[in-house]
Structures are given as C-alpha cells and as structure tokens.
Structure 1
Amino acid sequence: MATPRRNTVKRTRTSFSFTEISPGLLRLVAVLVLGLMLLAGVLGVRAMLNNPENLPISRIDLQGERKFIKDAELQAVIGKYQQTNLYLLDVNALETDLKTLPWVRAVTLRKAWPDQLIVGIEEQHPVALWGRERLMNKYGELFAADLSSIRGLLPTLYSPEDKGREIAERYLQVKEWLKDLPLEISELTEDESGSWRLKIKDGPEIMIGSEDQERRIQRFRVGFQQELAKKLANVRRVDLRYTNGFAVEWKKSPVGSRDSTNGVAGVSDVKKRS
C-alpha cells in the first residue's frame, strides 16, 4: 500500500543586514552615542573639579606697576582663596576683597588652566592731597590711604562738595595764569560760598574770591612784578577781593606802610567784593 505524500512547505529564511538601515538612522545613532560619551566625560570632569583638592591653584602671577602696594598685602588677601581650584574660585569675592586695599584702584583676574591665576593690579596714582585726610588720583577720584610718605610732596586741594575733577582743573588753570612767576602753588581750596583760596609754597596765602578769578590773578601778577617780588618773604596774606587793587598783610609792617598797626597796606579800592 502506497504511503500518501505529505505536502511540505518550504520556508525561506530572511537575513538582516546593516546595509538595509538607512544612512540617516545610522548617523542619528552615532550622534546619540557620541553625545552620551561627551556628556559622561563632562560630568566626570565636573565631578573632579568640584573637589577643591583636585588641581589646586599653585601659581599666582601679579602684574601691574606698584609703588605703594606691597606684594605681601596682596598675597595676604589672595591666600584666603588659594586653597581651591580655578573652577571653584569665587573671582567676584576675590576682586572685591582686593579693592578694599587702600592703594588699589582696579583689579583684573584671569584664569590660566590648569592651575595659574593672573592678577592685574592698577594702583592709585595720587596727584594731590584732598584736605587733610584723603588723596585725589589722576582721574579726579578721591580715596583714603596713608599720607605719611607723600605729605608735603603734592599740592593740597579741597572743596566741601568733593568736586575733585573740577578743583583739579581750576588748579591747572591757576598754574597757567601764574606760569611766568617764580611761585609754586601748595594749596588751592574752595569754601562753602565758592570762594577760592590759594597758598604759595613757603609764601603767602592769596584770597581770590568767588568771581573774576582770572582778572584778579592778572592784577596780582602786575603787583608781584612791580613791587611784591622783592618783599614776598615779608608777606603773610594778599587779598584780591576788591574791585580794583588788592590788600597786603605783612608779617612785619614795612616802614612807610599805610597801616602800621595791623600790617595791612596796598588797598587801592575800599569796595571789597566776594
């Protein structure tokens, strides 16, 4: 008896090949893998830098010309921030602390990886004393610092309204008006009423007043060249606050002076102005 034939179904195997994946999908996968690797690297570096003991600041480079600031003063401030790394360094706090030093005007901080901090210091450049306790820099800004090393070396300027730049400009203006005379200005001050007062180094004080300053200085120039130059050592004060002429107060009244009682002579107009 014949055995019936079974119907057999041929199964075809399907094969998978990467060549069948679209290039766009491959690029996307590659980008994702690369991104994950970069993220892992960044997180690893960040975790390392969050530990202040890793790559601590080991080099400090101080830059900028310094005449009054000592390196030890700067190091004392910077040292408080040096026990960390550049990543964790609070540059704003360090800059603020450095600016509290009396002679520091400006600070710039730059990080040079992996472990160097570059500190740029702009020192105050004093051009005048401001009253008895402060100084004025070349920008007309006022600041407080030790005056012992420069007292007597700089002119003294002052205004109750702290008009540093304006008074400095007036000082230069008066110097220009007196430039041909053998006189050195040691003080120029302004009082509450706006009246100018001038002090000549090793010489008299000159009351200029609050108006017509240039004309009054020119009047003084004429009087100085004609008469006062040879008697300057005996002059205590010159008052220019008159419509015409000026008054001279002597240390010792010269023989023949108009007023030998109080040592005042040379008033050619009794109408005094401010």
Structure 2
Amino acid sequence: MDARRYLQHNHRDELKADSRANKRNKTPRKPLTRREQEERKQALLLWSRRVITALKLLFAGVVLGGLMWSLPKFWAWLDRPIAHVGIGGTFHYLRQEEVQSKLEPFLHSRFFVLDLHRMQRTLESDAWISNVRVRKFWPDRLEVSLEEEVPVARWLSSELLNADGKILTPRPGMIFDDLPVLGGPKGREREIMQQYMTLSLQFRPLSLKVEAVNLTPTGSWSFRVGGVNVQLGGDELIERMQRFSRLYYSKLKSSWEEVKSVDLRYQDGIAVAWLDDNRTTGRLAND
C-alpha cells in the first residue's frame, strides 16, 4: 500500500516537473506586424469572395435549371392558339362566312407565329375587298376590319367599275340596274371613269343625271343624260360642255323632256333632234 502511494506521488512529481520544463522551454509568441495583419485580412477577404461567388454560381445554376425545365410549359402558356376572331365592317356585297373561310387556314397557327401580312394579302386578293386591317391581341384574339369595294358604274355588258376604274365581277344574285353604263376599249376603264366623274360634276348644277358614257375606238365621246343621247366628239371637250350648259339654260331646259338627242360636234352651235317626229331637227346657234 505504501509502495503504491509512493509510485503515484512520484508520477505526479514527474508530470509537474515536465510541465515546468515545458513552460521554461516555450518561447514567447511574437506579435504580427501591420503588413502581416493586412495580408491576413486580404487573404480572408479573398476567401470570402470566392465563397460568395461559388454560392452565386450555384444559385444561378439552380435557377437556370428550373427555367430550362419550366420554359416549354411557360412558352406554351404564352403562345396560345387563336380562340376568338372578330370581323368588322359593313357588308353589302360580301358575306362574313366568305371572309371567315379565307381566314380559316391561318387560324391553326398559334399567336406569335400567326402571319398577319400573308393573311392581309390573302384577303386583299378578293377584288371586292378594297382595304383590310388585321390585328392580334394577346392572349388569343384576332381582329379583322375591312372595307368593301363600291361599284360606281356598270362596265360593258357584265362587269362593274369602282371609282378608280377597277373592274369588279358581280357575284351571283347581285343586281345593279340603277348604275350608269360605261363602255369603251379594254384598258381604258380608268380614263372613261374619270370622264364620267367629270360629266357628273358638270351636270349636277343642271339637276341632270349622267346615265351612260361611251368612248369609241376612234376617240369620240358620247353620253346619255336625263334620257337624252349626246354626241360630244373627241376635241375641245371642255369648251363644248360650256357651250352646252349655256344653251341648256337659255333654250333647252324648258323643253328638255321633248329632246331626243343632242350633237355638240359643231363649231358654232348644237344640233338638236326632237321626240316629236313633226318637229324639225335643227341647230341652235351659240348665244
């Protein structure tokens, strides 16, 4: 028992001695210089930046992966099929069903790939459509507004003309008996329409309606106004019309319903034929 205590006591003494020896042999820690402190601070800052950059890249990768996964579904939600079509305009000669059938091939396309320019060209290819405006509104609506051509006159035996001289082919069931009749060589429709417009303006103050205008291949004009056939000729058209207006007011207006035809192709007057066979055809001199 005494021997065990002795050994333990001896072991504790050795440990204390070793501890005192270590303290004596241990050199004191030298404090860091300012430069070393700055370098250590910069190293710590660089490390923290790298960690933050790595975290940002990791976050960006997660976000990008999420977008790559959800983009097709999101795009399908944005690029929707056309579900609503509005067609506006005043329909006298066209039917909405006809316009709808022309639009039908395009409506299989989704919103962002819908070709509005091609759609507009397709509609404008119809001779009875003068102007078209096509717009789309997200998410799924298409708006079409159009203007019809307006026939102004009949052309030859079976066709029509608009105000610009464009030929229009009547649709089945269309009747235009109240329109004036224009005639002349093919290719001169615009010129003949312009002449009709000019004559209509000149006769408007006289309360007379132009019912027909014709141009012969030789360039001679004739027209029918107020039921009377008038030969105008091919030269000095404005001067001859002015002469007609003066003579109409002075001598023809009161008996216009009795006039059969008028010939303006004279230099010094107008030749008038009457419906009454007993009334002699004669020339009325200029006033």
Deviation at 1:206, TM superposition (A): 0.5
Judging changes above 3 Å, is the alpha-carbon distance between structure 1 residues 39 and 145 closer, same or farther for their aligned structure 2 residues?
A: farther
Query: What is the correspondence of 1:22-41 to structure 2 with a 5 Å cutoff?
Result: none
Equivalent pairs: percent with the same residue?
Answer: 25
Deviation at 1:199, TM superposition (A): 0.8
Query: What is the correspondence of 1:1-274 to structure 2 with a 5 Å cutoff?
Result: 19-21=48-50, 48=76, 55-146=80-171, 149=174, 151-160=176-185, 162-163=187-188, 165-201=190-226, 203-255=227-279, 257=280, 264-266=281-283
Judging changes above 3 Å, is the alpha-carbon distance between structure 1 residues 20 and 86 closer, same or farther for their aligned structure 2 residues?
A: closer
CA separation in 1, counterparts of 2:58 and 2:163? 63
Question: Which letter maps to 1:233?
Answer: E
Question: Which letter maps to 1:174?
Answer: L
Question: How many residue pairs get matched?
Answer: 244
Question: Are the counterparts in 2 of residues 102 and 145 from structure 1 also a CA contact under 8 Å?
Answer: no
CA separation in 2, counterparts of 1:33 and 1:179? 80
CA separation in 2, counterparts of 1:124 and 1:35? 55
- Matched position secondary structure for 1:193: coil
Q: Which runs of 5+ in 1 are unaligned?
A: 1-13, 258-263, 270-274
Deviation at 1:216, TM superposition (A): 1.4
Deviation at 1:236, TM superposition (A): 2.8
Question: Which letter maps to 2:283?
Answer: G
Judging changes above 3 Å, is the alpha-carbon distance between structure 1 residues 139 and 34 closer, same or farther for their aligned structure 2 residues?
A: farther
TM-score with structure 1 length normalisation? 0.68
CA separation in 1, counterparts of 2:164 and 2:60? 56
Question: Are the counterparts in 1 of residues 116 and 135 from structure 2 also a CA contact under 8 Å?
Answer: no
- Matched position secondary structure for 1:266: strand
User: What are the Cα deviations for residues 99-118 of structure 1, in whole angstroms up to 9, with x where unaligned?
Assistant: 34442122222222222111
Question: Which letter maps to 1:57?
Answer: I
CA separation in 2, counterparts of 1:227 and 1:15? 116
Query: As a proportion of its length, which structure holds more helix?
Result: 2
- Matched position secondary structure for 2:111: coil
Question: Are the counterparts in 1 of residues 163 and 193 from structure 2 also a CA contact under 8 Å?
Answer: no
Give the alignment's Cα RMSD to 1 decimal: 4.0
Highest Rg: 1 or 2?
2
Which has the larger displacement, 99-108 or 235-244?
99-108
Deviation at 1:184, TM superposition (A): 1.2
Which has the larger displacement, 234-243 or 81-90?
81-90
Question: Which letter maps to 1:228?
Answer: L
CA separation in 2, counterparts of 1:192 and 1:35? 77
Which has the larger displacement, 25-34 or 80-89?
25-34
CA separation in 2, counterparts of 1:188 and 1:235? 18
- Matched position secondary structure for 1:246: strand
- Matched position secondary structure for 1:95: helix
CA separation in 2, counterparts of 1:224 and 1:147? 41
CA separation in 1, counterparts of 2:61 and 2:189? 63
Deviation at 1:140, TM superposition (A): 4.8
Judging changes above 3 Å, is the alpha-carbon distance between structure 1 residues 127 and 19 closer, same or farther for their aligned structure 2 residues?
A: farther
Question: Which letter maps to 1:117?
Answer: L
Judging changes above 3 Å, is the alpha-carbon distance between structure 1 residues 86 and 234 closer, same or farther for their aligned structure 2 residues?
A: same
Question: Which letter maps to 1:146?
Answer: R
Judging changes above 3 Å, is the alpha-carbon distance between structure 1 residues 138 and 63 closer, same or farther for their aligned structure 2 residues?
A: same
Question: Which letter maps to 1:136?
Answer: L
Deviation at 1:239, TM superposition (A): 1.4
CA separation in 1, counterparts of 2:272 and 2:214? 20
Deviation at 1:30, TM superposition (A): 8.1
- Matched position secondary structure for 1:178: helix
